Amino acid sequence: MSPHLGGLEVAAESICRLYVEAGCRVRWVASRVSPPTASQYGERILVPCFNGLEQWLGVPWPVWGPGGMREIARLVRWADILHVHDCLYFGSAVAAWWASHARKPLLLSQHIGFVRYHSAILNGLERLAYGTLGRWVLRGASHVAFCTPAAEEFVTGLLGRRGVSATTIPYGIDTERFAPPSPLERNIARRTFGLPEDHRIVLFAGRLVEKKGIDIFLEVSRRRPLEHFLIVGDGPLRPGKTERVTWIPFVPPEQMEKVYQAADVFLLPSHGEGFPLSILEAMATGLPVVTSTGQTFAGVLEQEQVCLAVERTPVAFDKALNHLWETPGLASAMAARSRQLVIQRWGLNAMGSRYLALLRALTGKS
């Protein structure tokens, strides 16, 4: 959870808030990767962990200490149901073990599939982890909610014929909060972040790791002197001081809509994604999207003509931006269609009602 930011954290935040608003008593446990002022505030509980793998290798896999495991054991006794996010996290495995031991139902939201790294060793370790720990957690779940097409495709292949009880529940976006800005709102957003008001703004939002393609984004910025590039996020691959690039390591989640309002296009040269929540937020704000081809979600968006999906190279992304700006009406048409599609398919209320229905079915309580 915050202050560690990512699409999974934002999705979990939305689900937690929906549960609370529906009258559920909720306790949300996550890793304390950056110590906040307290270990618990409201329904949130942060437990100590070791997060060296993300710091050194860009692999977010925090390892909990005894305190975190004791916290889960205590809350499993208290709860009627456990809801965990992704099958490979240490905390998810601990929760699955205790849920099985206490005979409590376990709802698992799977957000991603297999993430390919440049390192053959990391890829091998990931396959081993999914084939052992991941398979055990998935098969032990009472029900699996697939958040993305990539997650569904991967898990179906991983488990084979035995499968699991599963449902597809796409992400939900607050389309009132993430909405196209007026010209005045756009200018205010740009002033807020110290951005030029007379340049096109190309936005990247995500963790600064190889998977997200921050190196490609920076190379594209060097090729395009007439645009300004905005990076929002932090991680091991931090950019140096670069001309025409503004880097903001952290923006509070409640202010992220202003980031999208300041931009003209969202560019994410990532790979191995499930369905980046940042792309849906950009689409809801009315931004055209440029991303990498070959990903399941990119194929879906291409069919709907709401994104440009290109080869994962700086040259290809550079050409895509040229095509976007030089084709009359293309950017505005993509933006309008993107907004409409998010409202139709990825609304927040639809996601919430489906999760609440699962809670009722799995617990037998209304």
Token pair listed for 216: 């490609």
Q: What is the pLDDT of residue 35?
A: 61
Token pair listed for 284: 């809801």
Domain with CATH 3.40.50.2000 in the chain: 7-172+347-363, 183-345
On whether the CB atoms of residues 250 and 277 are closer than 8 A, the answer is no
How many Å apart are CA 192 and CA 262, to the nearest integer?
A: 9
Q: What is the pLDDT of residue 179?
A: 96
Q: What is the pLDDT of residue 132?
A: 95
CATH code, 183-345: 3.40.50.2000
Nearest to 208 by CA among 296, 281, 143, 269: 269
Calculate the CA 52 to chain-centre distance.
21
103 DSSP β-pair partners: none
Q: What are phi and psi of 136, to 5 degrees?
A: -65, -45
Q: Give the type of residue at 220.
A: V
How many Å apart are CA 87 and CA 363, to the nearest integer?
A: 21
How many Å apart are CA 116 and CA 122, to the nearest integer?
A: 8
Work out the end-to-end distance of the chain between its first and last CA atoms, rounded to an integer number of angstroms: 28
Q: What is the pLDDT of residue 178?
A: 95
How many Å apart are CA 360 and CA 366, to the nearest integer?
A: 6
Q: How far is CA 4 from CA 146, 155, 308, in A?
A: 23, 26, 29
Query: DSSP string covering 253-304, please?
Result: GGGHHHHHHT-SEEEE---S-S--HHHHHHHHTT--EEEETT-HHHHHHHHT
Q: What is the pLDDT of residue 99?
A: 95
Q: What is the pLDDT of residue 210?
A: 87
Residues 6 or more apart in contact with residue 232 via CB below 8 angstroms: 203, 204, 205, 248, 251, 256, 259
- Neighbour tally for 27: CB within 10 Å: 17
Q: What are phi and psi of 28, to 5 degrees?
A: -110, 120
For domain 7-172+347-363, give the fold. Rossmann fold (3.40.50)
pLDDT tens string for the chain (366 positions)? Answer: 776 767 788 888 889 989 999 999 999 999 887 665 566 667 889 888 888 887 777 778 888 989 889 999 999 999 999 999 999 999 999 999 999 999 999 999 999 888 887 789 988 999 999 999 999 999 999 999 999 888 998 999 999 867 789 999 998 989 999 999 999 999 999 999 999 999 999 999 998 988 899 999 999 999 999 999 999 999 889 998 888 999 999 998 889 999 999 999 999 999 878 788 899 999 999 999 999 998 888 988 999 999 999 999 999 999 999 999 999 999 999 999 999 999 988 988 889 999 999 999 999 987
